Structure 1
């Protein structure tokens, strides 16, 4: 593995304690600058092209021993380095990442460091303890102040709870509220990433990375000013079993502190991404780059791929001689479908374990897991099991060992719905234990990714997205089409999404209805195809029934052939809430996917990234009647013009998907 590291030590200063100190740091391309002010408190100012884009409030941590990080601190020394290297990426949107940044480390006499990093695309900072003793964190101060009353894309916590404490329990999935900062709901938390829209097309995205043994960061605006404050769930004091089918742990009281921290703890990175083009937001690597590198030496056993999934289509089989549902016969039919279409996995979602027992060892009598695993092996199809959080957490080691020996390849773990320190610790234990037994993990009902998928590459996907499942029980009142062209610029900055696309029943804005047994998507058929390219998803579901895919074999063939991890990704164009076009390369083949909002749109594409040679394309685009009949589409094959220019029309709520390949030389 080739790894290029260019490390220059620029300065190393021993600085006596003084009343005030200002230090600066520039990004590698010189366009971003952070100025750090150290007085009784520590604050920073971030500028882009000499324009201030962000000011901080005092950044600090208050500890249980009466000490603080960031308040009346005494600077001991500072060090600045620049790093330019290439790092490997596993099961990601590209296989190599250029990692170039400048770093300023401030070491203080109060047993901590404060580290700032400036990339060309943004800034990050973190606290690091240098103490030799464990300690408690009572509070963290972080506020992000903006120059004007800008508008923001706000993913509020979706809950009926009115108190801040009640909002800590949530599924981290919601659409975006487009609102000025001052008009934000003072009583509501929002989860990150969150994007603020500045002047002249600039945007700032607030996020976090390398969240380990510490609560996740919420954002809110309790003052009505033009600032966002960080908020964190305190450590649980008492917990009871409850929630969905007794599979959750409900916090009934919390401690007066955030975290129990070990000596030498590295706290999460606080990130401010700065973009002058929306398409750059949709193709940003900062969260992955800032995460701890892989702890796994051998990842050869991790196999991303597609999954035939039964829950969304309600085990929807017809023309069979058995009652479809949670039984061995139904899952054999799904295995047959997966084998026919070269789909790697079938998932057994909720229902295979006896309800209300919260045990992964009580399998319903209608299911013979050993028989299903063996049957799948004969068809080259493997099994993944859904697991409720409490059942999985309680018997973590035993469940992983047992089902790994049985031949199961992974777990979809659901209904955590918290990100306090105790729950964040569970995610790392689950990932590590699963890896020990060569099991993949797909986290559902959980907080957004913060880089755990780099640290443990067997964490193959995350939910924390307002996915297609919402279409089973909501109608036009939920605008999924607009969400689909907003989420890639915001939530997907954090990492992959298990959105679960692939609907073959498609509806217009006026015809969509929430129907549990025969659900449909909003928007066109080609939109569903394109989402397999636009949405990053290393373990990718086919949500609809085998019956519907058999009726639409042409689309099924296209979906089943699309890779789920990539060598290279380019976002060609896009505007938040409007449209997006993404190109992804695997080997010698390129796939393009584009989505629009409810506005019909013509996109002009520049395919110069293809380079030299003659190329042909297989194009799936909205049919001429797709504005009325959303399933209408047209497939055509064409040669890519030598000037590499291509224009394609999309219907309302539409999209297109293209496969591009080099023509064979005679």
Structure 2
């Protein structure tokens, strides 16, 4: 992974007439501004920043008030902060390559300034602020050279006008709730998971709140408006999380920088396309990445909860992966008690004889989880991980799925990162389940292929309510959870599990494109894919798990979404609807390059939910195509074999 950082003096920083406003930082395209204000209208007191957005000349306050401050175990850095200076402006420009995600070539480009303060004890606090073309990011810094302290509280808080519409997920340790849509008098007061999506009252801008680059020197945070319904304050983990293991307040070692507080701002298309969470995160620490291979995996758990316990079922899903050309199959829990014709070593040998690579599940173990499912505790310490990864490497296992973390305390953040680092030493890919929402780690550790942190198709096994919730839920996730990192929803299921679908086959097929994951686990049983018409089966055989470009073509959270993704010269388009009525989606191909024609294979809803219809057309950037969707329907399309037109 190659990258370069270039710093130049290219910045807009100036004092404006209001005495309370100290400075303004603008994005390179000047659409987004961050202004620093004093609440006391002088140089000493409390401070906040305001984020503004220029939408074609109409300037709106995306977030009018973001409180700043920290409480450290030895000192207060909030009430009486003296503004010292705004540092020398810097233009940050960095290009890097992502092995998987929504875009292969990413650019970290922003204007940065450091605001310096000191408290009454003359101890320095810096606030580093960046303005991007697609949002802002800021973090705290203690520049002192030594010392160890506990951060008692972080006072960062976002004041959001009640008229702002918001989509938020109630806080829970595995981040597996559905999103609530709220505004005005129905805004709920709770603790909330990241990320949180907002739309301004006048529809002039959207913004998404998250955090990135969380490392061993801090904990994960969440949002809480329990004290004030209109203000979302950053909040440390509940002491009860992880069965009470670990401290909820982080211990920091100086010099220290906090995680980035990230706000994506712009149109809904800007947010869906943004890589800001990864952009601000630390570059890859994995030097040789040739072994990291995104791809599709077959998965037996959804259709057979105890499937991995059965050697014959494991072999059936290996056969499915080989038949579909998918590189992986997952052995979920109970592989250590496999029977009915063979044991683990037999299964691994069979899987690899088919040209497929095995992935294996682990319980994270330890006192932080009461889940007894085995194998557990095998990854709990460095010594145990080395022993287990050595064994897996010899067995030809390509990656591990680690489950049940149940906390975002500092000790658990360290555990996540320890697993990733040790796995990389053994060229082992990783994905987390029962876990935190991505925080930019896929850039730092590109062997982190995906994370669950979503109410996915697995919930058809647990909750009959998910049957009716799924269509709306599916149209919210591309604008929220999947924006900030790969998402292991385990999609594309045509048959039924314990509770039935009400989404159409077209809707399910589209999820292979609408949802992004570095390892995409397609969860249906073999007959679910074998019964598909040839065009749909062909699409699932060639669908990538890593993309060169991603664009939102149309959508509204909770109603519908149409996303186009490109791999090399082939475009894939997925569209889904949550509507309880039939609707027509008009696809514009204006995103295509000028002077090029593509072959279009369009697979859409047929006469009923379990039917698909296929059309073959030729299109270019001037074309539009209308697609008829059933209620809760969808479609998938492939644009291939581009041919340049003669001038």
TM-score (norm 2): 0.88
Which of 11, 26, 45 is 1:40 aligned to?
45
Report the counterpart of residue 133 of structure 1 in structure 2: 147
> Are 2:596 and 2:620, in contact at CA under 8 Å, matched by a contact in 1?
no
Report the CA distance between 1:191 and its aligned residue: 0.4
Report the counterpart of residue 360 of structure 2 in structure 1: 385
Report the counterpart of residue 590 of structure 1 in structure 2: 571
Instruction: List per-residue Cα deviations over 1:557-580 (Å, max 9, x = no partner).
Output: 321210110112221121121211
1:530 pairs with 2:510: yes
Report the counterpart of residue 231 of structure 2 in structure 1: 227
> Are 2:67 and 2:158, in contact at CA under 8 Å, matched by a contact in 1?
no
1: CA distance between counterparts of 2:339 and 2:77?
A: 54
2: CA distance between counterparts of 1:364 and 1:230?
A: 49
Report the counterpart of residue 374 of structure 2 in structure 1: none
Instruction: List per-residue Cα deviations over 1:20-49 (Å, max 9, x = no partner).
Output: 771211111212211113531221112223
2: CA distance between counterparts of 1:70 and 1:384?
A: 52
Report the counterpart of residue 312 of structure 2 in structure 1: 329
Report the CA distance between 1:100 and its aligned residue: 2.0
Distance 1:137 1:223, change over 3 A: closer
1: CA distance between counterparts of 2:552 and 2:408?
A: 31
SS state at 2:402 partner: strand
Report the CA distance between 1:70 and its aligned residue: 7.4
SS state at 2:529 partner: helix
> Are 2:93 and 2:108, in contact at CA under 8 Å, matched by a contact in 1?
yes
Report the CA distance between 1:420 and its aligned residue: 1.2
Report the counterpart of residue 469 of structure 2 in structure 1: 479
Summarize the alignment of residues 41-60 of structure 1 with structure 2, pairs less than 5 Å apart.
41-49=46-54, 50-60=59-69
1: CA distance between counterparts of 2:126 and 2:149?
A: 16
- Between 1:124-133 and 1:146-155, the stretch displaced more is 146-155
Instruction: List per-residue Cα deviations over 1:61-120 (Å, max 9, x = no partner).
Output: 111123537752452662211234432222121111233211111234524421001112
1:210 pairs with 2:190: no
Report the counterpart of residue 351 of structure 2 in structure 1: 376
5+ residue gaps in structure 2? 39-43, 366-376
Instruction: List per-residue Cα deviations over 1:597-651 (Å, max 9, x = no partner).
Output: 124221222213322233211111001x22xxx1111122222267322221111
Summarize the alignment of residues 125-524 of structure 1 with structure 2, pairs less than 5 Å apart.
125-131=138-144, 132-158=146-172, 170-180=173-183, 183-186=186-189, 188-201=190-203, 202-213=205-216, 214-233=218-237, 250-251=243-244, 255=247, 258-275=249-266, 277-314=267-304, 326-353=309-336, 368-390=343-365, 391=377, 392-394=379-381, 395-475=384-464, 478-505=468-495, 515-516=497-498, 520-524=500-504
Report the counterpart of residue 511 of structure 1 in structure 2: none
2: CA distance between counterparts of 1:289 and 1:182?
A: 36
> Are 2:182 and 2:188, in contact at CA under 8 Å, matched by a contact in 1?
no
1:631 pairs with 2:610: yes
Which of 126, 132, 143 is 1:119 aligned to?
132
CA RMSD across the alignment? 2.7
> Are 2:139 and 2:258, in contact at CA under 8 Å, matched by a contact in 1?
yes
2: CA distance between counterparts of 1:475 and 1:567?
A: 37
2: CA distance between counterparts of 1:3 and 1:157?
A: 36
> Are 1:60 and 1:68, in contact at CA under 8 Å, matched by a contact in 2?
yes
Report the counterpart of residue 368 of structure 2 in structure 1: none
- Between 1:86-95 and 1:560-569, the stretch displaced more is 86-95
5+ residue gaps in structure 1? 159-169, 240-248, 317-323, 355-362, 507-514
Report the counterpart of residue 524 of structure 2 in structure 1: 544
Q: Structure 1 segments of 4 or more deviating over 4 A?
A: 1-6, 10-13, 363-367, 663-666
2: CA distance between counterparts of 1:235 and 1:137?
A: 14
Report the CA distance between 1:289 and its aligned residue: 0.7
Report the CA distance between 1:127 and its aligned residue: 0.7
> Are 1:184 and 1:224, in contact at CA under 8 Å, matched by a contact in 2?
no
1: CA distance between counterparts of 2:95 and 2:470?
A: 37
Report the CA distance between 1:421 and its aligned residue: 1.0
Report the CA distance between 1:340 and its aligned residue: 1.6
1: CA distance between counterparts of 2:175 and 2:211?
A: 15
Instruction: List per-residue Cα deviations over 1:203-223 (Å, max 9, x = no partner).
Output: 221111111122222112123
2: CA distance between counterparts of 1:87 and 1:217?
A: 27
Instruction: List per-residue Cα deviations over 1:188-235 (Å, max 9, x = no partner).
Output: 311011112212222221111111122222112123442212211167
SS state at 1:485 partner: helix
> Are 1:115 and 1:125, in contact at CA under 8 Å, matched by a contact in 2?
yes
> Are 2:336 and 2:344, in contact at CA under 8 Å, matched by a contact in 1?
no
1:608 pairs with 2:590: yes
SS state at 1:466 partner: coil
2: CA distance between counterparts of 1:3 and 1:113?
A: 26
How many positions carry a matched residue from both structures? 607
